[in-house]
Amino acid sequence: MTITLEQAAERFIPHEFTIDGLDKWLTNQNIDVDGDSRFFHSWHHYENALDEANANVCIRELKGMDADCWTNHDNGIIVHMRDENGEPTIGAAFMYGVEEYLTDAYPVLDDTEFSEVEDRWLRDWFDQEKGAKDWEPKPLAEAIPPREIQFKRN
C-alpha cells in the first residue's frame, strides 16, 4: 500500500497539512548525514512512561506504513527523514504530524497504550522498592557531617 505524505501526516496532525509546513519543520530537525533523526530519546532508556508509550505507538504506525524506522535499545526511535534525493519521507511526514499533535493538541497519542506502559512502570517501581525493603536510610546526622563554623573577626 502506497501512502502520500499528506496521508501519513494526517494520522495525527491537528491542522491542515502543507508541504511548506513539513519543509519548515524538517529544517529545524537534527538530521544526521544519513538522513535520520531521533525522537523520544534520552541518555539512558526512556525518561518516562509517556515517552515510551508515544514511541510504541509511532513504531507501530510507522511499520504499518512501511516507513524506515527502528528502535534504539529502549532509547527512543530513529526515523529516516529524507530519501536519497533529499525529499521528505513518509516517516518524516508522519513524525511531523505527531510532533504537531503532541505540541498543539494532547501529549498522549494513545490513552490505552499509555495506561499499559504507566502500569508497568509503577509495578516495576514498587517491585524495586519491595526488593530494597532491608535498606534503611542513614540518620541525618550521619548523612550530613557537621561543618565547623568559622567567624571572621573585624
Q: What is the pLDDT of residues 48-77, one digit of tens each?
A: 899 999 999 999 999 999 999 988 766 789
Cα torsion through 131, 134, 135, 137, rounded to 10: 140
More confident residue, 6 or 33: 6
Q: Which of 43, 39, 90 is nearest to 67 (CA)?
A: 90
pLDDT > 70? residue 78 = yes
Residues 6, 9, 13, 16, Cα dihedral to 10°: -20
pLDDT at 128: 78
The pLDDT of residue 103: 95
Confidence band of 26 (pLDDT split at 50, 70, 90): very high
Strand order in the sheet with 69-71: 36-39, 77-80, 69-71
Cell numbers at 117, concatenated? 506502559
Higher-scoring residue by pLDDT: 150, 66: 66
Q: Calculate Rg over the CA atoms of the chain.
A: 23
Q: Residue 2's pLDDT band (boundaries 50, 70, 90)?
A: confident
pLDDT digits (tens, 9 = 90+) for 87-137: 999 999 999 999 999 999 999 999 999 999 999 999 888 887 777 666 565
What one-character-per-residue DSSP string does 112-145 give? HHHHHHHHHHHHHHHHHHHHTTT--PPPHHHHSP
